Structure 1
Amino acid sequence: MRPAPLSPAWRRALPGFLVLLLGVLLLYRQTGLAMVEIWYRSETFAHAFVVPPISLWLIWRQRAVLAQLTPRPQAIFLLPMAAAGLLWLVGDLAAVNAATQFAFTAMLVLTVPAALGWAVARSIAFPLLFLFFAVPFGEFLMPLLMETTADFTVAALRLSGIPVYREGLQFIIPSGNWSVVEACSGIRYLMASVMVGCLFAYLNYRSTKRRWIFVGIATVLPLVANWLRAYMIVMLGHLSSNQLAVGADHLIYGWVFFGIIMLALFMIGARWAEPDAPPPAPPAIPPAAAITRRGAAVWVALGLLIAAPLATSRALDAQAPGQPLSLAAPDFAARGWPAAEAPPARYRPAFEFPAAELQTAYSSGDAGAAVGLYIGYYRQQGYRSKLVSSNNVLLRSNDRHWAQVDGGVVEGTVGETAARLRTAELLGSSRSLEAIDGQRLRVWQLYWVDGRLTSADWQAKLYGVLGRLLGRGDDAAVVVVYADKGQAGEGDALLRRFLQDNGAGLQGWLQQTREAGRAGSR
């Protein structure tokens, strides 16, 4: 069937709309390319490659409906566009990929109602919102999903009569040791299932109630399926004396099982599919709509709002860079903490690309009692080198020397400053080549940002953004102290005393490091 010709209104509106859309894509191309890079390197988000083509196809399906509408710019959507631009700016200053990528996608979506009107945007609302599935978001759920997977697997094994000893995400059964790692979290299944479930519901149901029910099932089902998958893999390994479902096999079995579950879901869901809405009547050519001064002003304002966040970010980046860093260990001997002959353990936190880092140890004066100190100092932060990142952790899950068996928060005092610190307990791994098998470490962590102490990631990001906006720079550091656990909480008591005795000196040392960098940049 030959498509209907474009109306005069559309012929006048489309060039301006395409220029604005192209402006978003070109100006924020680094954000878009960062999304594509994550799709490419992360199997969790590989499904996002098909999101833009699917969205364009869904819009094309609505071409007959769109042809009956008259595009009209609407100024009311300049407000959400300004909010999206502000979100991008804050995300860029804080180097938060999720924020900049959501804002970039929102700017693309909001260009439609702002430049063409609400009626046009409403007719293609689902295809526009579907674009948000292209944002690689959701990895923050991974620790929770890993925990629930371990909970279910251990409970199911015990119900099956198999004794289990569990510490954190590690558990031992008579046939061997198992651990829940990132690949076992089910995040990949969840992301793919929710996206495909939304698409299936949109294409097969007209009822909003049926759509929400199906999406809800598509969200819960992969979680339950992943729990069953993990349990069955452990059982296969146990019953086969670890000949089956180990190594790469358990990943293959997992995807096969997930594929069967999803196929069953779609086959059952198709039984309640509703017929498509009747095709619209052949469109009458709408009257030509002249581009009024008000509409032209909306387009100009829209273009300025699109460009403003990037221009502001570039202006802030043009501030003079700080001096190269070189950290020397602070001297706490006068406070009764001389440098130790040896650290309490061979351990190093996993913080990537700091501007400078320091690892040392101090002796408490007690026989054999030492506290390790690690400082990762960040300056001129960006997407590669930043204090708060999902890659910056106390311990990676695939570490060969240590396994994290506990974590939490503790109230402490850093000098005279009350602070909440993030904690972890590490157990020496039997896989380690070092003589640390069975050793336990207590680890405490906090951030120092713009003279403030916090253990919360979001607060550290916020303080960093405020510092940049106020012209104070973005110097920040992670401070990690660790000690042998000992007996009856000796390790925690040692760490608490170290921070009380040396916290003020440590903060002063960090402040001097920051001021020296600022003085050198003037």
Structure 2
Amino acid sequence: MNSIAANSPIPSTLTRPWRLALPALLLLLAWVLFLYRDTGIAMVTIWARSETFTHGFLVPPIVLWLIWRQRHAIAAQQIQPALWILLPVACTALVWLLGDLAAVNAVTQLALVALLVLSVPAVLGLAVTRQIIFPLGFLFFAVPIGEFVMPQLMAWTADFTVFALRLSGVPVYREGLQFVIPSGNWSVVEACSGVRYLIASITVGTLFAYLNYQSTKRRILFVIVSILVPIVANWLRAYMIVMLGHFSGNKLAVGVDHLVYGWVFFGVVIMLMFIIGARWSEPEKMTSVGASGHTQPLQAVTATRVWAIAACFAAVLALPQIALWVMDQSESAKPASLVAPAALAPEWQAVASPVAGGFKPAFQNPSAEINSTYAHEGRPVGLYLGYYRHQNYTRKLVSSNNSLVPSNDPQWAQVASASHEVAIDGKSVVVRSAELRATDLAAQAVNSRLIVWQIYWINGTLTSSDHLAKAYSAFYRLTGRGDDSAVIIVYMPKDAPGGTDTVLASFLTANYPAINRLLLKTRQDK
């Protein structure tokens, strides 16, 4: 589709169909943006605040430019509004609704862009859409998505850095994403993941491949290269930064310096990638309008058909908004309230002394929460309940901002993770497990390590999966049962007597009925 048509005059027979279709398309696009303006504003807000997705401001102008390059080939196509497009439009609108119910930005924003894209074949037809299929697809790069790969990228970066350091003869002691070498301590945090480099490289690399290559094979190969190069480059960047710090006595490549060095190194690598890729560029094919036009005479496009399909499209778009309004009206606005009981099971009594100096999980903006300690036979266990009601994009149970400890936590660092099966309420349930280490071992000589178990409670249903928690929340709200949810976290020192896993499993088995009653009472009290 990447071709330049000769500047031949546009047939006069196309003038009227385009005059009918363009106003309908523009009004439909405006209607989409108006109805789903909150989603669009959320996208722009992320572009503005996150350096990772600042390129989103450039995507719409690039798309318009790419479409403008194809204007003569587009004008030669027959406009045939497609009524059947309403089916995928309805499915996409439903996906948006489910994403909004679960407060998942990526889902709602992808759905919004998909609705904008689907408006083109709905009003103009498939022939026109085929001419601009790449620009329409490139519009999805405006969606600020991709940070979900950050944990894996961080793990790979730590693996390579430790491997390369040992290969260089530098002794390394590693725990999770933290490692120690003779010259100091290092950790792989979000800024070290390379996700910014990866997203930028894929975006620019895809555009470069489209503009410089004609064969599908070369385009795909270059996009694959634009994925692999920034990942490997980030590994090398991390290794070199640690080595610079090591040999300079931590005077170089620390603080802001290592970010500056990282971007300079990445810029050089990406520039070399494009220079090498340009050696295999293919010239654009010159085609005339007549060569790409239809051999059959154009059929008349009536204003009635164009506006009828646009009106049906607009009506389908409004259905999720109406459903959301109805659900909002039926839900109570009463705030949630949690009070820690003096005892759970009879043998587990509340005690005043907090576990590990008052550790508290980093769950943001809950509707209600408690963080108490319960003991049995001298074995204390910390219990944290974070309750969420009327969840939205700033207050939600499952979020990248909610974690046991953030990467920059001054007191604790997560060094290991696992899962365990526990008998809860007569069923075998999988819970997450994590080991936390005090960042200052001298200051935390006692209870310097914690074992923490975590599970979600979604309207009485237990799961340790983020995805299932989101799905349950959307389902319960869609069926009129609200979105009341909570996180249940239990924790205790690793070196506590009796075996940590055994004590935590016993605590959950014995006390979950009382915890469940407390959460159910909170849900019903609204």
- TM-score for both structures, normalised by structure 2: 0.94
> What SS does the aligned partner of 1:162 have?
coil
Contact 1:335–1:501 under 8 Å retained in 2: no
Partner of 2:48: 40
* 1:118 aligned onto 2:130: no
Aligned to 2:315: 304
**Separation in 2 of the partners of 1:10 and 1:163?**
70
Match of 2:352 among 327, 341, 346: 341
CA contact (8 A) 1:415 1:500 kept: yes
Do the aligned residues in 1 keep the contact of 2:98 with 2:474 (CA within 8 Å)? yes
Which one of 176, 192, 196 corresponds to residue 168 of structure 1? Answer: 176
Distance in 1, matches of 2:329 and 2:79, equals 40
Summarize the Cα distance change of 1:281–1:118 in structure 2 as closer, same or farther, 3 Å threshold: closer
- Whichever residue aligns with residue 500 of structure 2, its letter is G
Percent identity over paired residues? 54
AA aligned opposite 1:127: P
Provide closer, same or farther for how the CA distance between residues 160 and 95 of structure 1 changes in structure 2, counting only shifts above 3 A: same
Q: Mark the runs of 5 or more structure 1 residues left unpaired by the alignment.
A: 518-522
Partner of 1:214: 222
SS at match of 1:330: coil
Counterparts of 1:330 and 1:3, CA distance in 2? 81
Deviation of 1:509 (Å): 1.4
TM-fit CA distance, 1:486: 0.9
Q: Contact 1:73 / 1:113 at 8 angstroms: preserved in 2?
A: yes
Confirm or deny: 8 A CA contact 1:171 1:179 kept in the other structure. yes
Partner residue in 2 for 1:332: 343
State the partner residue of 2:413.
Answer: 403
- 1:8/1:289 contact within 8 Å kept: no
* Mapping for residues 217-366 of structure 1, pairs under 5 Å: 217-281=225-289, 289-291=300-302, 293-332=304-343, 335-345=346-356, 346-366=358-378
Per-residue deviation, residues 335-379 of structure 1 (Å, max 9, x unmatched): 21111231111311111111111111101222xx21111111011
Distance 1:123 1:248 in 2: 46
Match for 1:182 among 178, 190, 204? 190
Pair 1:488–1:265, CA change in 2 (3 A):
farther
CA distance in 1, matches of 2:122, 2:51: 35
| Structure 1 position 296, deviation (Å) | 4.2
User: 1:520 maps to what in 2?
Assistant: none
Q: 2:158·2:177 contact (CA, 8 Å) conserved in 1?
A: yes
SS across alignment from 2:288? coil
Distance 1:456 1:462 in 2: 10
Whether contact under 8 Å (2:212, 2:281) holds in the other structure is: yes
State how far apart, in whole Å, the 1-side matches of 2:347 and 2:338 are: 22
- Equivalences, count: 514
Question: Bigger shift: 166-175 or 342-351?
Answer: 342-351
> Taking structure 1 as reference, are residues 212 and 125 closer, same or farther at Cα in structure 2, changes over 3 Å only?
same
- Is residue 64 of structure 1 aligned with residue 83 of structure 2? no
Find the residue that maps to 2:141 and give its secondary structure. helix
CA deviation after TM superposition for structure 1 residue 334, in Å? 5.2
- Aligned: 1:418 with 2:420: no
Corresponding residue SS for 1:7: helix
Match of 1:83 in 2: 91
The residue aligned with 1:471 is: 480
Measure, in 2, the Cα distance between the counterparts of 1:292 and 1:182: 54
Find the residue that maps to 2:210 and give its secondary structure: helix
> Do the aligned residues in 2 keep the contact of 1:373 with 1:481 (CA within 8 Å)?
yes
Decide whether aligned partners of structure 1 residues 410 and 326 sit closer, same or farther in structure 2, where only a CA change above 3 A counts.
Answer: same
1:17 CA displacement: 1.0
Measure the CA separation in 1 of the matches of 2:210 and 2:93: 30
- What is the CA-CA distance between 1:43 and the residue it aligns to? 1.3
Residues 21-60 of structure 1: per-residue CA shift (max 9 Å, x gap): 1100111111011001111111111111111110110001
What is the deviation of 1:516? 1.6
- Is 2:150–2:193's contact at 8 Å kept on the other side of the alignment? yes
Gaps of 5+ in 2: 1-6
The alpha carbon displacement at 1:411 in A equals 0.8
User: How far apart, in 1, do the equivalents of 2:446 and 2:289 lie?
Assistant: 75
> CA offsets, 1:267-322, max 9 Å, x none?
01111110011042479998573316555432222111121112211221111324
In the TM superposition, what is the alpha-carbon distance from 1:90 to its structure 2 partner? Answer: 0.3
- Which of residues 488, 498, 507 in structure 1 aligns to 2:516? 507
Q: Secondary structure at the match of 1:348?
A: coil
RMSD: 2.0
SS in 1 for 2:251: coil
Equivalent pair of 1:416/1:504 in contact (CA under 8 Å): no
Stretches of 4+ aligned residues off by more than 6 angstroms: 282-286
Q: Which amino acid aligns with 1:485?
A: K
CA distance in 1, matches of 2:341, 2:16: 73
Contact 1:379 1:476 in 2 (8 A): yes
Tell me if structure 1 keeps the 8 A contact 2:8–2:289: no
The two structures have a TM-score, normalised by structure 1, of 0.95
- The Cα offsets for residues 211-242 of structure 1, whole Å up to 9 and x where unpaired, read as 01110100100000000000000000001111
Confirm whether residue 384 of structure 1 aligns to residue 394 of structure 2.
Answer: yes
SS in 2 for 1:21: helix
2:4 aligned residue: none
1:495 paired residue among 477, 500, 504: 504
Tell me the distance in 2 between the aligned counterparts of 1:290 and 1:484: 74
> Given that residues 165 and 172 in structure 1 are in contact (C-alpha distance below 8 angstroms), is that contact kept between their aligned partners in structure 2?
yes
Code of the residue aligned with 1:480 in structure 2: it is: I
Q: Is 1:23 matched with 2:31? A: yes
* Cα separation, partners in 2 of 1:18 and 1:333, compared to 1, 3 Å: closer
Offset of residue 121 of structure 1: 0.6
- 1:450 maps onto 2:462 in alignment: no
Residue 107 (1) aligns with residue 115 (2): yes
CA-to-aligned-CA distance 1:150-178 (integer Å, 9 cap, x gap): 00000000000010000000000000000
Paired amino acid for 1:319 = S
In 2, are the aligned partners of 1:169 and 1:179 still within 8 Å (CA)?
yes
1:487 Cα shift?
6.2
Question: Which stretch of structure 1 is more off in the superposition, 482-491 or 134-143?
Answer: 482-491
- Secondary structure of residue in 2 paired with 1:57: helix
Question: After the TM superposition, which of the residue ranges 490-499 and 369-378 deviates more from structure 2?
Answer: 490-499
